[in-house]
């Protein structure tokens, strides 16, 4: 999501008082629980068919389970970063050689930890590669837009996926032109009507190279679709719907959105999936990530407080209900990506704050952190808030 200046953020700090949330404290996962989960899950990567303890194919019932982190984020592995460089919204994908790739936004400032983002940092995206979810990744050459535009474009908040036959990887990113600044305050966006979701592709088995989509089907270069501030993409194939789903947020209207596609090229019109309170400034809509598991769709969204992300659960991928009435719980983290490997689920987060944020983008953990998730049985009150 767009990193805002601290002065601008201070103006909306009072909005935190409106949030009625309880952070879930981490608890230890028993060895038995981890083993049970590992034996009952076949999912690897993102949003492929999998299960957790309570899989109906094994128990004959459909149990609602809640995913939670296993430790405080300050104790998690710093997967990407040196503790001084800012890393923001990112995506994760696995190549054909079994290595993990993370791509996304970054920033480098000379004065130490937490100094934010320079405009020139947005002219490319970072690219990191690693063979394990439990070891730090290594940075690779940056990824650039590689297209001609009237002004220098900024790349932001991507989402990546292999097509169904795994011949081509698609990566969508927010292509925009930044802001007019007055001192340290962002006053207005430059050419907001020109921002859009653009598409890079890779046919390399190791995902070492990316290029703009160059087919003839799109109206404008490699533009997948255009909506004001369309960003923070999460994309996957859904066997139940029989289409690709791409979740994202935008400034065209409040609430996270979804579009559908048969081919990753032509996308439907957007549908809002979560109703926000009137006048809410991205309190519940940014950095959406959706995971399908055991008959339920799990939606995580982040707001202006980077110390937590909100969880919603639905049986319908197009409707997660009301942001207040249907919230399952808040859990520590920000801008999460859920990754499964060898029967274990992981959550990776960026720009995490270990305290309630005083303003948008306020955080104290620089880098991208990763840790395992555990699944626990939901209580009856949570089940009542699931959207059916």
pLDDT digits over 235-255, tens only? 999 999 999 999 999 887 778
**Residue 272 reports pLDDT greater than 90:** yes
Tell which wins on pLDDT, 132 or 5. Answer: 132
Tell which wins on pLDDT, 190 or 262. Answer: 262
In this predicted model, what pLDDT tens digit does every residue of 343-384 receive, in sequence order?
999 999 999 999 998 888 899 999 999 999 999 999 999 999
Say which residues have a Cβ less than 8 Å from residue 249's Cβ, sequence separation at least 6.
1, 229, 230, 231, 232, 255, 256, 257, 282, 285, 286, 287, 288, 301
Reference 366, options 375, 377, 356, 353; nearest CA is 353
Q: In the numeric block, which tokens belong to residue 384?
A: 């009542």
In this predicted model, what pLDDT tens digit does every residue of 11-58 receive, in sequence order?
223 322 222 332 333 333 333 333 223 222 333 566 654 544 434 444
Report pLDDT for 33.
Answer: 34
Report pLDDT for 9.
Answer: 34
Report pLDDT for 8.
Answer: 29
Report pLDDT for 283.
Answer: 61
Backbone angles phi, psi at 209, to 5 degrees: -130, 140
Tell which wins on pLDDT, 53 or 140. Answer: 140
Q: How far is CA 146 from the centre of its chain?
A: 24
- 333-347 mean pLDDT: 96
- 271-280 mean pLDDT: 81
In this predicted model, what pLDDT tens digit does every residue of 194-205 receive, in sequence order?
899 999 999 999
In this predicted model, what pLDDT tens digit does every residue of 280-328 receive, in sequence order?
655 668 999 999 999 999 999 998 899 999 999 999 999 999 999 999 9
Report pLDDT for 379.
Answer: 95
Match domain 6-384 to its CATH number in 2.10.109.10, 3.40.309.10, 2.115.10.20, 3.40.50.2300: 2.115.10.20
DSSP-derived letter for residue 197 is: E
**Residue 127 reports pLDDT greater than 60:** yes
Report pLDDT for 21.
Answer: 30
Beta-bridge mates of residue 27 = none
Q: How confident is the model at residue 107 (pLDDT cuts 50, 70, 90)?
A: confident
- For residue 108, give Cα distances in angstroms to 83, 114, 355, 372: 11, 10, 23, 28
In this predicted model, what pLDDT tens digit does every residue of 57-103 receive, in sequence order?
444 457 999 999 999 999 999 999 989 888 999 999 999 999 999 99
């Amino acid at each position: 999501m767009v990193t805002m200046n601290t002065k601008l953020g201070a103006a909306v700090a009072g909005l935190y008082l409106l949030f009625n949330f309880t952070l879930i404290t981490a608890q230890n996962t028993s060895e038995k629980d981890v083993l049970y989960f590992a034996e009952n899950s076949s999912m690897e990567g993102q949003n492929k068919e999998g299960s957790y303890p309570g899989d109906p194919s094994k128990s004959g019932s459909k149990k609602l389970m809640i995913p939670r982190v296993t430790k405080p984020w300050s104790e998690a592995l710093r997967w990407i970063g040196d503790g001084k460089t800012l890393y923001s919204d990112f995506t994760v994908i696995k190549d054909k050689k079994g290595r993990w790739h993370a791509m996304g936004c970054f920033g480098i400032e000379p004065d130490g930890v937490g100094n934010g983002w320079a405009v020139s940092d947005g002219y490319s995206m970072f690219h990191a590669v690693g063979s394990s979810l439990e070891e730090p990744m290594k940075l690779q050459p940056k990824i650039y837009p590689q297209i001609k535009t009237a002004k220098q474009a900024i790349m932001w908040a991507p989402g990546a996926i292999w097509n169904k036959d795994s011949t081509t990887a698609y990566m969508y990113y927010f292509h925009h032109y930044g802001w007019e600044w007055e001192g340290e305050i962002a006053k207005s966006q430059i050419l907001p009507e020109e921002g859009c979701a653009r598409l890079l592709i890779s046919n390399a088995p190791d995902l070492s190279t990316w290029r703009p989509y160059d087919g003839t089907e799109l109206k404008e270069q490699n533009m997948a679709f255009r909506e004001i501030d369309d960003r923070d993409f999460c994309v996957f194939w859904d066997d139940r719907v029989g289409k690709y789903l791409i979740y994202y947020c935008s400034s065209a209207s409040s609430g996270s959105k979804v579009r559908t596609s048969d081919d990753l090229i032509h996308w439907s019109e957007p549908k809002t999936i979560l109703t926000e309170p009137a006048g809410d400034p991205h309190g519940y809509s940014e950095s959406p990530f959706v995971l399908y598991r055991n008959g339920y769709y799990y939606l995580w969204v982040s707001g202006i407080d980077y110390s937590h992300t909100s969880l919603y659960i639905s049986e319908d991928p197009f409707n997660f209900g009301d942001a207040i009435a249907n919230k399952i719980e808040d859990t520590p983290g920000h801008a999460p990506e859920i990754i499964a490997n060898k029967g274990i689920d992981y959550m990776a987060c960026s720009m995490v704050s270990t305290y309630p944020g005083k303003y948008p983008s306020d955080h104290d953990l620089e880098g991208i952190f990763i840790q395992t998730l555990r699944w626990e049985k939901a209580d009856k009150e949570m089940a009542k808030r699931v959207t059916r």
